[in-house]
Amino acid sequence: MAADFQLEVEDLRFRYGSREAVAGVSFAVRPGEIFGFLGPNGAGKTTAISCVCGLLGGWQGAMRFGGETFRPDLRAADRRRIGLVPQDLAVYEELSGRENLLFFGRLVGLAGAELTAAVERALELTGLGERADDRVGSYSGGMKRRLNLAAGDLHRPSLLILDEPTVGVDPQSRNHIFAALERLRDQGRTLLYTTHYMEEAERLCDRIAVLDRGRLIGLGAAAELAEQAGVPGADLEQVFLRLTGHRLRDSA
């Protein structure tokens, strides 16, 4: 089964103190697919991702990567297989875009010509152009978002995890990010993608996991989800509300 899945997560649980943020989630990501993580605020998406990225330790359950035991919280080498684009902007405002990319590139172990090439590729991806050497503090929100994205993909990790990369950007930046992600997909890269935007998920994702209150309440391609939800042919927005919008369903 090693070749079938890249990342496998089994019965993942994590609690902040007494609050169980992730309560037994299982899913597996196939090589070369864009896997969507959908769910309302507080569903546990970021928490689950943080476990996969090694930001959080002390979770329960099992993870495998390429068929092997995966402990990103304990092993730095395991963390290198994953690239993270955090939900909150995580770039240094005092440095230039290029300096940020150089720093994060070095942090994942790139050097020399490889580093230079990675930074050039990332700058192209961000479309920062001649602003690359300006301080990030002077960038627009969209520019920062694009930089935030590029900084996570410098070493072309086996799995790139994006936590709501299009939050708070204008349609132009959003389209730019979209185009970039589609290009990555066409290159055969594997992505795990979190979002609130249904049309994004529908357009990009091969399969989608719907999370609510720390539990998985649906998993499959958009059409499969519609069938699971008992609304075949409906669009993802309807499916999502059907699955998660308890109050709406109750009042209907």
Partner 1 sequence: MKLLRDAWLIAAKDLRAWRRDRTGLLFGLLLPIALVTAMGFLAKVLYGGGGPMGRTDLWVADEDRSEASADLLAALRAAATVRVRPGPEAEPLSVEEVRRKVEDASAHHALIVPAGFGEELAAGGLPELRMIRDPGRRLEDTLVSLALVQAYMAISEGRSWPAMMGRQMEALGLEPEQAQAVVAASESVRALIERFLPGGDEEPEAGGAEGGAAAGTGFDMSAFLTGMVPVAAEDIQPPGRPKELGYMQAQSVSGMVVMMLMFGLVACGSTLIVEREKGTLTRLLAAPVSRDSILLGKLFFSAAVGLIQLSLLFAYGELLFDLATFRDPVTLLVLMLSLTAAVTGFGLLVAVLARTQKQAEGVSTILILVMSCLGGAWFPIQLFAVPTAVEVIMRLTLTHWAMTGFQNMFFHQKSWHDPATLPAVVVLWGFALAAFLAARAIYHRRLASAS
Ligand X SMILES: Nc1ncnc2c1ncn2[C@@H]1O[C@H](COP(=O)(O)OP(=O)(O)OP(=O)(O)O)[C@@H](O)[C@H]1O
Residue 167 makes contact with partner 1 by CB under 8 A: no
Amino acid occupying residue 203: R
Least distance from C-beta 192 to Mg ion, angstroms?
13
Residue nearer to partner 1 on the CB measure, 139 or 240:
139
CB 227 to partner 1: min, Å? 36
Best CA proximity match to 61, nearest among 214, 184, 183: 214
CB hemisphere CA count around 28 (13 angstroms): 15
149 binds, among Mg ion, partner 1, ligand X, none (CB under 5 to 8 A by kind): none
| Contact flag: residue 218 with partner 1 (CB under 8 A) | no
Binders of partner 1 in range 138-157 (CB under 8 A): 151-152
User: Which run of H or E residues covers position 216?
Assistant: strand 215-220
19, interface contact from partner 1, ligand X, Mg ion, none, CB < 5-8 Å by kind: ligand X
Stretch of 1-9, 34-42, 51-59, 189-197 lying at the interface with partner 1 (CB under 8 A): 51-59
Task: Tell me which residue has tokens 């070095």.
Answer: 106
CB of 97 to ligand X, least distance (A): 25
For 79-116, the DSSP string reads HTTEEEE-SS--S-TTSBHHHHHHHHHHHTT--HHHHH
**Of residues 38, 48, 102, 108, which one binds partner 1 by CB under 8 A?**
108
Q: Please tell me the total number of residues recorded for the chain in this structure.
A: 252
CB of 37 to Mg ion, least distance (A): 9
For residues 24 and 213, the answer to whether their CB atoms sit within 8 Å is no
Distance in angstroms (rounded) separating the CA atoms of residues 47 and 141: 24
CB of 43 or CB of 110, closer to Mg ion: 43
Q: What residues contact residue 45 under an 8 Å CB cut-off, 6+ apart? A: 37, 38, 39, 163, 194, 211
Question: φ and ψ at 235, to 5 degrees?
Answer: -80, 170
* Of 90, 167, 217, 231, the one binding partner 1 by CB under 8 A: 90
Residues binding partner 1 (CB under 8 A): 16, 53-58, 76-77, 79-80, 82, 84, 86, 88-93, 104, 107-109, 151-152
Residues binding ligand X (CB under 6 A): 16, 19, 21, 39, 41-47, 87
